[in-house]
Structure 1
Amino acid sequence: MNILTYLDFELIKLLYKENTLSQRAISKRLNCSLGKTNETIKNLKELEYINDDNSLTDLGIDLIKKNKSAVILAAGQGIRMIPINNNVPKAMLEINDEILIERLIRQLIEAHINDITIVVGFMKEEFDYLIDKYNVKLVVNREYQEKNNLHSLNLVKDKISNTYIIPGDLYFYENPFLNNEIQSWYMLENRISKHSNVTCNNKNEIVKVKDDGLKMIGLSFINQHDSLYLKERLECLDDGMHDSCFWEETLYQKNKMFIYGKIVDTNYVDEINTYEELRNVDDHSAHLNNETLSLIADVFKINVEQIKNIKSLKKGMTNRSFLFEINQDKYIMRIPGEGTDQLD
């Protein structure tokens, strides 16, 4: 799908920062052979992105300066955030004295990205104040309980063009957004996850593997060209047969994504999916003061921090019931209805 190669994109970005570099200087900066550098320069000259003196043409500059936008996916109920998932959307969690989604919005604005759309669903009214505070747009996914975020993204597919796609449960320690992005990519974390089946090869291609793969972060940038194919895939897969699918399914062509991989270190970002992940990132978060866990701690005469491996139970009971461990012994907390707390 990519007209330009990974090196093509990297060279355009390099020349935007430092114009008219020599072939040898470019080869050193891109960490590739002189032959590969000359091949890349020749390709970009033929496509009229750079001039004979290795400076960017107007076409190359326009590619960099295209307006960027962002879509934040924040519609889900966050079932894995048990037992606080019924009280607050994940994107509204307070972490290190900041509201998670506000941190993402501020980081986008710092990168001069102001066209921001948020897909909401669960407790959607909690997001309304963001319209006036940050001039964002809200789109409601009314089927957030039945469908996964593939449907959420399909609702705003017309807004995707040079766009960041951002899960609302990510906490970035550094600002990951840039206003000069030109190359589509999907972010992976440099550690193995049993929940992943992809890795990144030496061509920066994301390919499926049989064993555990690199942790999938969910953040992506989709340029104008690749957005056309993504929109087709979104419309095709949002057909009632893929309701449980994540939006990443749209990126695959057989066993490979059609966009490149971007690998970051493990200390670059945290994904806040569970109570324990929240506790690991900010053990002073106000959301950790949960009545249900306090009840468990009182019954067992322990500290709340000793409650481990909290997992939602979906089958046969409500989403408010969950498994937990104390000293490696497993228990179930069943909460069959409002006002009923019974410990098994």
Structure 2
Amino acid sequence: MDRNVIICRSIYENPAVTQRELAKELHISLGTANSLVKECLDKQLISINKGNDSYQLLLEGQSLLKANKVDGAVIIAAGFGSRFVPLTFETPKGLLEVFGERMIERQIRQLHEVGITDITIVVGYLKEKFEYLIDKYQVKLLYNSEYSKKNTLTTIYQAREIFRDKNMYVLSSDNWMRHNMYHTYEGGAWYSSSYMEGETSEWCLDYNKKGRILNVFVGGKDQWVMYGPAFFSKSFSSKFLPVLEEYYHLPGTEQFYWENVYMEILSGEAAKRLPDVPETKQEIDLYINRRQAEEVYEFENLEELRQFDVKYQRHSDNEAMELVSKVFEVPESEITEIRCLKAGMTNKSFLFKIKDRHYICRIPGPGTELLINRQQEKDVYDATHNLGITEKIVYFSGETGYKIAEFYEGAQNADPENKDEIKRCMRLVHKFHQSGLMVPHTFDFKERIEFYEKLCKAHGDILFDDYNLVRGYMKELLDRLDGLGHVKVLSHLDTVVDNFLILPNGEIRLIDWEYAGMCDPLVDIAMCAIYSYYNEEQTDQLIETYFEREPSMEERFTVYAYMALGGFLWSLWAIYKASLGEEFGEYTLIMYRYAKNYYKKCIDIVLE
């Protein structure tokens, strides 16, 4: 850290600054501050105005500051913010308000106050929500397409050319600074730090007398920790970026923060990983920027934000929170222990606690109104209510699709490799197939295939080269199934093992009846097989488990046919979802392969 720059900067900002104030700014003794002022006087960086005991910045001092001018800032705003659900289902974390001001806007305003207007926001999740900032503050947006799969190492990598040969702040959109800690000029690279009393899981720092960081380690006691924004000087970036660029391409670093790279440079691990990269062996200067208590805030979760800004205890302006408050007739402050659950393929859900019980709120994902008829789903839950096989519904809107259900403490999903668990699941499926329950709607494979096909083609081509051929195979299977004339019963259609909950008392619940309707019951066996990625041997065993006997050739054919049709249908579903920006990895290929493979098995079966 060039302390002469800090002295000149302080005088530039306040010519009447005292040496005691300089000592506080630099975290040094008053004697050391006196010596630094004398050094700047000797170098003719500054002079003293005898008449009013103030300082004046001389030409040499002005030149020194000019060389250390901050060029701009990069604000990281790509992530989802899972610990702030349900608010972040609608609004990116950085756009949440604190005391009536959006966190990212507060930081932009603070940057503008010191003349920093070249600001780039790296966006990803709900990127469109940030577009208005271009007009309001003349910022630039940089889209990080890997935001959902990788961490901030990738964010800095995507923005690396913005840092090259520049002095740049690195900010997180969801930080809140009580006072403006930014400056027009900086004396070297730094990382903001706060002191944490007691045990902490934050990233802790060791540093020398001049404040240069020597070591970074996760977790400690009574430590200064990395907390808040950072500043990359030209010198720091020239050594750091070449290493980060190499780390980006290293397997296993997908979930690295950019700070992981810096930590491994300090520890020597980077030199071991990248022995041919010279920058890993150079000293890299990053200094601690110690901040006062309660000056910098990194809200870890919604509970912390609610404690800081009580508005979120009373009225969060969030539809899901308002609904929960209304359903349970409690103020929002009594909705506690909120956390995101694993996002499903169709919906978003969060767990919460009211008094002494936990519940799950399901929020339909964007565009699902095209795919799922929520009133039909409600009809199914109403029909199965007295059967005791579904999750316990507290609230369901057939209009919006919002669902609130009791959370089963200690429940686990069925294991597709556990024969005993699968046997019990099949007994439950057989139970509701034999229940005689009826709903006024059907699940029609022919209609659904045509529907998804239309959606896919409206958003682009279906890229399988043999699609038309396989489409013909599916028509052939549908015609053969129609000829069998099987009776339709209430069927679940989404019998993935994750939808079977095994409760601590051994009972089983089948949840998420979004696709349920009147259909051939054997479709549920087929769907369980393809969702579990079963091979033919496992599938045959599943069929026998359901019937508790050897199946007939017609029954085996029917299951195989629905496996082919299900694979074809869900591959179209995945193609459509991909056109909306949601990817499901190899799922599309696996489902399409089921369509082709089990069609071939079907044509080898001769029915009388």
CA–CA separation in structure 1 for the residues paired with 2:74 and 2:145? 17
Q: State the secondary structure of the residue aligned to 1:335.
A: strand
Structure 2 CA distance for partners of 1:10 and 1:307, relative to 1, 3 Å: same
Matched, 1:102 2:105: yes
In the alignment, the residues of structure 1 paired with residue 128 and residue 343 of structure 2 have an alpha-carbon distance, to the nearest angstrom, of 29
- After superposition, the C-alpha distances for 1:101-159 in whole angstroms (9 at most, x for unaligned) are 22211111111001111111111112112212211111111111111122112111121
* Distance change (3 Å), C-alpha of 1:18 and 1:313: closer
2:294 maps to amino acid: N
Q: Provide TM-score, normalisation by structure 1.
A: 0.80
In 1, distance between residues paired with 2:207 and 2:196? 14
For 2:343 and 2:259, the matched residues in 1 are separated by 26
| Equivalent residue number for residue 65 of structure 2 | 64
SS in structure 2 at match of 1:243: coil
- How many Å separate the matches in 2 of 1:103 and 1:17? 21
User: Match for residue 294 of structure 2?
Assistant: 267
Q: Which has the higher contact order (CA 8 A, sep 6+)?
A: 1
Residue matched to 1:199: 205
Aligned-partner Cα distance in 1 for 2:242–2:77:
22
Amino acid aligned to 1:198: C
Q: Which residue does 2:348 correspond to in 1?
A: 320
- Does the 8 A contact of 2:45 with 2:59 survive in 1? no
The partner residue of 1:342 within 399, 404, 411 is 404
Cα displacement (A) at 1:15: 6.5
Is 1:211 paired with 2:212? no
Distance 2:23 2:329 in 1: 64
Partner of 2:235: 225
Identity %: 32
**CA distances 1:276-297 after superposition (whole Å, capped 9, x unpaired):** 2332333336971333334444
Match of 1:159 among 152, 157, 162: 162
Q: Report the more deviating stretch, 198-207 or 97-106.
A: 198-207
Alignment check: 8 A CA contact 1:69 1:114 kept: yes
SS in 2 for 1:182: coil
Give the aligned partner of residue 262 of structure 2. 251
Determine if contact 1:141/1:155 at 8 Å carries over to the other structure: yes
The 8 Å contact of residues 205 and 224 in structure 2, kept in 1 or not, is answered as yes
Shift of 1:18: 8.4
Shift of 1:95: 2.6
Deviations 1:67-125 (A, max 9, x none): 42111111111111111211011122233222222221111111100111111111111
SS in structure 2 at match of 1:321 = strand
| Cα drift, residue 260 of structure 1 | 0.7
Q: CA deviation at 1:168?
A: 0.3
Task: Find the aligned partners of 2:324 and 2:99 in 1 and give their Cα distance.
Answer: 26
The 1:317–1:184 alpha-carbon spacing in structure 2 relative to 1, beyond 3 Å, is: same
Question: Helix, strand or coil: the match of 2:311?
Answer: coil
Aligned equivalents of 1:89 and 1:113: distance in 2? Answer: 24
Equivalent AA in structure 2 for residue 197 of structure 1: W
CA distance in 1, matches of 2:345, 2:285: 40
Superposition pairs of residues 264-343 of structure 1, within 5 angstroms:
264-284=291-311, 288-314=316-342, 320-327=348-355, 329=356, 331-335=358-362, 337-338=364-365, 339-343=401-405
Distance 1:28 1:177 in 2: 17
Following the alignment from structure 2 to structure 1, what is the Cα–Cα distance between the partners of residues 338 and 332? 12
Q: 1:230 to 1:57 in 2, by over 3 A?
A: farther
Compared CA separation, residues 14 and 274, structure 1 to 2 (3 A): closer
2:45 and 2:108 mapped to 1: Cα distance? 36
Tell me, in whole angstroms, the C-alpha distance in 1 between the residues paired with 2:347 and 2:84: 10
Q: Name the count of aligned residue pairs.
A: 331
Point out the more displaced range, 144-153 or 93-102.
93-102
Query: How far apart, CA to CA, are the structure 1 residues paired with 2:239 and 2:324?
Result: 50
Q: In the alignment, what sits opposite 1:129?
A: 132
Q: 1:121 to 1:51 in 2, by over 3 A?
A: same
Alignment check: 8 A CA contact 1:91 1:168 kept: yes
Structure 2 gap segments, 5+ residues each: 47-56, 269-283, 366-400, 407-608
161-170 or 147-156, larger mean C-alpha shift:
147-156
Structure 1 unaligned blocks of 5 or more: none
Partner SS for 1:181: coil
Q: Which amino acid aligns with 2:301?
A: T
* Higher-Rg member (1/2): 2
Residue 215 and residue 52 in structure 1: after superposition, are their counterparts in 2 closer, same or farther (change >3 A)?
closer
More strand by share: 1
Deviation at 1:27, TM superposition (A): 8.4
Residue type of the partner of 2:90? Answer: N
AA partner of residue 110 (structure 1):
E
Q: SS at 1:342's partner residue?
A: strand
From 146, 168, 176, the equivalent of 2:181 is: 176
